[in-house]
Structure 1
Amino acid sequence: MLTLYHYPKCATSRKGKAWLDRHGLSYRIVDIVAETPDIETLRDLWQKSGLPLDRWFNPSSGLYRELGLKDRLPSMSDDEKLRLLAAHGKLIRRPVITDGKRVTIGFDEATMERVWLRGEGA
């Protein structure tokens, strides 16, 4: 079963949820803002995703802009970035979907099909 880290007010997150529903995939929902993953969970998800940690940030977030992260992220350590993500679920790009081995972030239909329908790597 998949885990969908979801924020109900986020249009992109709702697209990911709708896509899973359309394809009949089972998942459990974790509200990424109400139940923000802790640092170790985020570290594990990030490493399994194979993506640069900066891609985990949601640049559309008002908090992202308020904190000036566009300019600050390049000089921050991975631990600092993970602490920030764990402290503010709205900073995390969503949806985050995992089966415990693979992880996708954001909504890209081609990636969703490749990973969650065909079973290829993220």
Structure 2
Amino acid sequence: MKVYGITNCNTVKKALDWLKAHHVDYEFHDFKKLGVSPEKLNEWDAKAGYEKFLNKQGLTWKQLDPAVKDSIKSKADALNLLQQKTSMIKRPVIEDGDFLYFGFDEGVYEQELIK
């Protein structure tokens, strides 16, 4: 299992604490240190659609210049912006085989991640 996020995000911290408490092994990928590849973003888009992981509720999106927000006219525009500003990706991102989830939900985690 791979968990993507940033270490100072409270939602990521909650998810990592939950995984540790339930003895779920994972590898952590820090967006701030390692970024995210266009290939990975395209893979997530193919599975879920970029709208699912473009976090328009977060501070990074809200602080964007309105012209930049208005410039998002296509999937390519959105994915390019997400690669540049990884803080706009809904976190954490959990990948475990075919399972892909954005965010933290204890019920989903219990159902999908405890084996």
Structure-1-length-normalised TM-score: 0.80
| In structure 2, distance between residues paired with 1:28 and 1:112 | 16
Question: Share of identical aligned residues, percent?
Answer: 27
- Ranges in structure 2 where 5+ consecutive residues have no aligned partner: none
| Aligned twin of 2:54 | 57
8 A Cα contact 1:33 1:88, kept in partner: no
The alignment partner of 2:24 has SS state of coil
Higher alpha-carbon deviation: 8-17 or 56-65: 56-65
| Aligned twin of 2:78 | 81
8 A Cα contact 1:58 1:92, kept in partner: yes
| Structure 1 residue 54: Cα displacement | 1.8
- Ranges in structure 1 where 5+ consecutive residues have no aligned partner: none
| Aligned twin of 1:95 | 92
Aligned pair in 2 of structure 1 residues 22, 41: CA closer, same or farther (>3 Å)?
Answer: same
Equivalent pairs counted in the alignment come to 113
The alignment partner of 2:91 has SS state of coil
Point out 4+ residue stretches in structure 1 off by more than 3 angstroms.
Answer: none
| Aligned twin of 2:20 | 21
The higher-RCO structure (CA 8 Å, 6+ apart) is 2
| In structure 2, distance between residues paired with 1:72 and 1:98 | 30
